[in-house]
Amino acid sequence: MSDDWPLFEVFIRARSGLEHKHVGSLHAADVRMAIEHARDVYTRRQEGVSIWVVRSSEIVASDPEEAEALFEPARDKVYRHPTFYTIPDEVKNL
């Protein structure tokens, strides 16, 4: 059996004004074919107006084992949210 074509991650913009969102992955010989396949596999029902493909091997991801070190420090900084502050009811437009 021949080797697999490289793997691509597919991102789709559902409507103009929205961001591209990861929808899945597929194999293709090159970027052009990756776009064509993404069209066939992920947009059969007008799910998108724009497609990005990127080789999966090009994506660098954070390590789940480091999730605490990365995200925990933000947990006790509730003062970054507007609800942290008490403002009298009479004050409007704030």
Partner 1 sequence: MYTQALDSPAPEARPGSSGGQAALERRFEERIERDEKIEPKDWMPDAYRQTLIRQISQHAHSEIVGMLPEGNWITRAPSLRRKAVLIAKVQDEGGHGMYLYSAAETLGIARAELLEQLLDGRAKYSSIFNYPTLTWADVGAIGWLVDGAAIMNQIPICRCSYGPYARAMVRICKEESFHQRQGFEIMLALARGTGEQRAMAQDALNRWWWPSIMMFGPSDATSTHTAQSMRWRIKRFTNDELRQKFIDVTVPQAEFLGLKIPDPALRRDEISQHYLTGPIDWSEFKAVLQGNGPCNHERLQARRTAHEAGRWVREAAAAYAAKHGGRGAQPRSAAHIASPRAEAPCHE
**Residue (of 44, 43, 51) closest to 20 by Cα position:** 51
**Rounded to an integer, what distance in angstroms lies between the CA atom of residue 53 and that of residue 12?**
9
Fill in the per-residue mask, 19 to 58: x = in contact with partner 1 (CB under 8 A), - = not in contact. Answer: -----xxxx-xxxxx-xx---xx--xx----------xx-
Interacting span for partner 1 (CB under 8 A) from 12-20, 62-70, 79-87 = 62-70
**Rounded to an integer, what distance in angstroms lies between the CA atom of residue 58 and that of residue 20?**
17
Residues near partner 1 (CB under 8 A) are: 1-7, 9, 24-27, 29-33, 35-36, 40-41, 44-45, 56-57, 59-61, 63-65
